[in-house]
Amino acid sequence: MSGGMIWPGRKPVKTAAEAKPASAADATAAAPAAKSVPAVKAAPAAETSRLDQKTDLKVELHQNLLDRINLAALESMTREQVGRDIGDIVADMLKEMNHALNLAERKQLVEDILDELLGLGPLEPLLKDPSITEVMVNTAYIVFIERAGRIEETKAKFADNRHLLRIIQKIVSGMGRRIDESSPMVDARLPDGSRVNAIIPPLAVDGPILTIRKFAKTPINMEKLVSIGAMPEACAEVLRAVVKGRRNVLISGGTGSGKTTMLNAMSASIGTHERIVTIEDSAELQLQQRHVIRLETRPANMEGRGEINQRDLVKNSLRMRPDRIVLGECRGGEAFDMLQAMNTGHDGSMTTIHANTPRDSLSRLEQMIGMSGLEISPKAARAQIASAIQVVIQLERLSDGKRRLTSVAEVTGMEGETVLLQEIFRFDRQGIDAQGNVIAELKPTGIRPKFMEYLGARGIHLPPNLFDPYRRLDSAA
Ligand SMILES: Nc1ncnc2c1ncn2[C@@H]1O[C@H](COP(=O)(O)OP(=O)(O)O)[C@@H](O)[C@H]1O
Ligand SMILES: [Mg+2]
């Protein structure tokens, strides 16, 4: 294998120029950063880190390997056999790219490429790159990533949609799930905890679609949320007290607004002596306490039997003597059981919900109670909500890509048929600057929350000036 076949018509002018600087900077770890001059690309030089280039080089090499080798044959070969063959091809390719690597470096590169071929193919370099938080595959040739809150397209691509489907099947079968025409969508989790969703034809019109939310190796904690400007410290202080003092919390927000992250961060304030049961459709939470039992739902099997849903798990958890129940996301009939648990001694429980405002989240809860199949009047449902939930917090992903806490509200009771909800912190939007950043601040409304008294009686004292609307909060943003 050699010569003209390697870069079959792809960007003939760009390739040589592009490959060299990237690989030169990449070849030796000690190479000075000054060498990493991105050719051709219009991106500002400072933004193209060496990490990005390394990913690009591997994607490029991998892509060329895919063009040359018979994927189906790989599956029946051992790693050693594949390694020998690939080693030769990679050596050839590096030579053609005018790329001088020493033996150790080449070995490492071959190992990496083997991981990619035998692992999850073109996804591997993207999954290994810690600066990438989300990978979105929109059929074989279109792969987007999210990095630092921004979405960009990558050079990664699959050989074709069949190749992509094989990788998807590899992921989901490893998790004991399956995907095919008769069951064309699936949620799964990679061994490292990353969350995977796949949906294929006929539901996905153009071909297989894969979305991976990468597992944060070090989860974002409250301190980090404050330091990146997601909320002011004063607000974090209130939330810590609310959790420590066992108030029931509902975290509301859109998809990807940071609900699970917030739930995880807030959970750190739960005492180490408490018994916590977590319930999720696909386990994402990373509670730090030792006394944690993690439960995950199970979909129906091939015959459509054996499904265990969140509701079943909430009910079962009540027999496990939990002090607190943490439900990853409330989306259906389990709302009823969860609220009941909150009302009957499991205070300090928490969950998230998909809604756009705190008020909206309460009506969503009401709808979900309806989904439990029980005959409950709207008024009774609201009364249950009003006595179960004390604090609702709202998260939003703003137009500048930043995820921010935009409201903290307290449920204070019922008046007639209406649940009373009052905002304690409110998001004050002032506008948008020239770079498109949202200028806004989370401010106290001046209302002293009722839970202050409850917390005070349990020895948790918050300085009253936290709620003073004229005091400037130290928002990092
Ligand atoms: N405040 C934040 N700033 C930056 N990234 C965040 C923030 N909160 C969450 N993230 C990241 O955003 C992604 C989505 O967050 P997640 O908590 O899973 O959202 P949700 O549960 O609302 O769908 C994750 O990759 C997470 O690490
Ligand atoms: Mg979530």
What is the domain partition of the chain in residue ranges? 1-118, 126-216, 222-467
Residues facing 408 on adjacent strands: 393, 425
How long is the chain? 477
Pocket lining for ligand 1, CB < 6 angstroms: 133, 213, 216, 220, 225, 228, 230, 253, 255-261, 403
Cβ-based burial of 414 (10 A; exposed 0-12, middle 13-18, buried ≥19):
middle
What is the 191 CA–ligand 1 centroid distance (Å)?
20
pLDDT at residue 138, as a whole number:
97
Residue closest via CA to ligand 1's atom 5 equals 403
Residue closest via CA to ligand 1's atom 25 equals 133
Tell which CATH classification among 3.30.450.90, 3.40.50.300, 3.30.930.10, 3.20.170.30 matches the domain 126-216: 3.30.450.90
Encoding tokens for residue 215? 């597992």
What is the 213 CA–ligand 1 centroid distance (Å)?
9
Encoding tokens for residue 428? 């004050």
Dist. CA 350–CA 264, nearest whole Å: 10
Atom of ligand 1 nearest to the CA of 225: 1
CB distance 353 to 369 below 8 Å: no
pLDDT at residue 445, as a whole number:
96
Q: Which amino acid is at 322?
A: P
Q: Write the pLDDT tens digit of every residue in 321-338.
A: 999 999 999 999 999 999
Least distant ligand from the CA of 134: 1
pLDDT at residue 236, as a whole number:
97
Cβ-based burial of 472 (10 A; exposed 0-12, middle 13-18, buried ≥19):
exposed
Q: Which fold has domain 222-467?
A: Rossmann fold (3.40.50)
Residues facing 278 on adjacent strands: 294, 326
pLDDT at residue 107, as a whole number:
80
What residues in the chain have per-residue pLDDT under 50?
A: 1-52, 475-477
CB distance 82 to 65 below 8 Å: no
Dist. CA 189–CA 171, nearest whole Å: 8
Helix (H, G, I), strand (E, B) or coil at 151: strand
pLDDT at residue 57, as a whole number:
66
Dist. CA 409–CA 395, nearest whole Å: 12
pLDDT at residue 31, as a whole number:
36
